[in-house]
Structure 1
Amino acid sequence: MSLPVPRVRRFPSAINGRGLWTLFLRGFTRFLRFAVEGIGGTLVSALLFLAVFVFAWAGDSGPVPGGSFPAFVAPGIVAFSLTLNAYGNAAFPLIFDKLEGMIGDMLMAPLTPGELVAGYVLSAAAGGLITGAAVLAALSLFVALPIPDPLLLLAYAVLGSLLFALMGFITGLWAEKWDRYSAVETFLILPLGLLSGTFFAIETLPPLGQQIIQANPVFYLVDGLRGAVIGYSDTSPGLGLTVLAGLTGLFWLIAWRLVVRGYKIKS
């Protein structure tokens, strides 16, 4: 009795939707598994940031006319929490898969390089968005945040999450050990977040300092979220969205090209 000849599976479209969804769920489920530490720890850090800077600020008025200091720093704390979480959600699983030898299973799956990048990045960005939303909700309990433009808030949050998830993915490809992941977080991600105008108005800086801060992409994320949450921003929404969208597209191309080349994931 002859065995049936195996047939090559045909996908209904150019995109392997089932495989992409499976990879997304794999990353998102891993995020949910550690949600208590990831989201809970981020909430505690955000509230501590708010408390320290509010206690350190003398008076009720903030750096901008008509606004309180807690309301001024709250959007920056949300941006800081969102980006740091999205970065870690992308870098940590990829490094873990490489060190444990599971990256080979990903490479043998019927997924294109673009689908592989999308699976890791989209799940990481979703985790970052959930964490940012949780921080925003927690801060709203202590600070009056009117949120005059929810759609603009969503647009900036999505672009910020995708951008830093892509940065985390590229870091995960480059890092061969955990110390490299920590080095990028310490010497790049944290400085970008802290030196972004989160806790100060750029008008208080000298001209050179303002130019340096405006070269930081996180500045546009913080400024855009601040405009969407309290109605005050230093730049136009169009400029911030353009900068973030352009950088997100650039980092997507870099990540895709690195996977196509098999950079540090193929022997």
Structure 2
Amino acid sequence: MQERTAMGIRRFGRINWLGTWTLLTREVRRFMNVWSQTVMAPLINAGLFLMIFTIAIGSQRGDVMGVPFMTFLTPGILTMTVIQNAFANTSSSLASAKVQGNIVDTLMPPLSAGELVAGYIGGAVARGALVAVVIAFGAALFLGVGMQSPIWVIAFVFLGSVLMGGLGMIAGIFANKFDQLSAISNFLVTPLAFLSGTFYSIEALPPALQTLSRANPFFYIIDGVRFGMIGVSDSSPWIGLAVVGFSCVAVLSLCWWWMRTGYRLKP
């Protein structure tokens, strides 16, 4: 079946499934080829966080929201690692392609803007999901932290990876140098991840800071995963689902537009 588009005839149909799958596969192979840096290093960092808190605070800190502190902390560490990896996957891929001058190899194939976005986001979701599965397995094995509601965990890990993959695309497209990309990660993504209830309940914050936290989509991702894993949360998971879902639509729309127009991608 032939589909006519503004650019001519697409012989493979309305959607280039093969091309999209090829881009997704390339993104997965890209981070798996250096798995010790892209997967193992974040997992070790998550384990170090949990070990340090266990040694320094775990036996002294009282319950948080009715559960032991380490049980409360585990979903936050898992989610923080997931969103950082999803962001890093798309941002580093696009920034590297721009700096090395081979971004044209991605833009020239017969892929629409939506297909390009889908391929990159698919890679981010795959990396985030892989990290989440391994950390969740370790948490269950060594800390006894299981899953109260796996559906909620899957939903928020997926949406969180989509959102952060989209933000990574925006950062990768906007940055022309690795220094700019590092600045975005260090001064925007990392503070928002740390100050979104990863290590504490926002109920412990002053009212003004609680309001700011509830305006941070990262808070709802972490809170939703925490609800799914241990059954407690600072807000309704349904509200979190709506906020994160709306944020995903807004971010992906901008990614699609920038891909469609070639903003900061084409000379």
Q: TM-score range by the shorter chain?
A: over 0.9
Quote the offset at 1:60 in angstroms.
Answer: 5.9
Give the TM-score normalised by the residue count of structure 2.
0.93
C-alpha distance in 2, partners of 1:143/1:208? 34
How many pairs are equivalent? 258
Q: CA deviation at 1:132?
A: 1.7
Distance in 2 between residues matched to 1:188 and 1:80, nearest whole Å: 14
Secondary structure of the corresponding residue to residue 141 of structure 1: helix
Equivalent pair of 1:81/1:135 in contact (CA under 8 Å): no
Contact 1:86 1:127 in 2 (8 A): yes
Q: Find the aligned partners of 1:204 and 1:9 in 2 and give their Cα distance.
A: 56
1:165: Cα distance to partner? 0.4
Q: Could you tell me which residue of structure 2 aligns to residue 35 of structure 1?
A: 35
Do the aligned partners of 1:72 and 1:226 also contact (CA within 8 Å) in 2? yes
Q: CA deviation at 1:9?
A: 6.4
In the alignment, what sits opposite 2:231?
231
Partner of 1:146: 146
Unmatched 5+ residue regions in structure 1? 1-7
- SS of the residue corresponding to residue 258 of structure 1 reads helix
- Which letter does structure 2 place at the counterpart of 1:10? R
| 2:129 match: secondary structure | helix
Name the counterpart of 2:207.
Answer: 207
Matching residue of 1:63: 64
Shift of 1:89: 0.5
Q: TM-score, normalised by structure 1?
A: 0.93
Determine if contact 2:173/2:263 at 8 Å carries over to the other structure: yes
Structure 2 CA distance for aligned equivalents of residues 68 and 157 of structure 1: 23
Listed as ranges, the gaps of 5+ residues in structure 2 are 1-8
Please say if 1:249 is aligned against 2:222. Answer: no
Q: Using a 3 Å threshold, how does the CA distance of structure 1 residues 231 and 100 change in structure 2: closer, same or farther?
A: same
Residue of structure 2 in register with 1:132 after alignment: 132
After TM superposition, the runs of 4+ consecutive aligned structure 1 residues lying more than 4 A away are: none
Which of 207-216 and 20-29 deviates more?
207-216
Counterpart contact for 2:224–2:237, Cα < 8 Å = yes
Question: What is the aligned partner in structure 2 of residue 47 from structure 1?
Answer: 47
Q: Classify 1:209/1:56 alpha carbon distance in 2 versus 1 (closer, same or farther; 3 Å).
A: farther
Q: Which has the higher Rg, Structure 1 or Structure 2?
A: 1
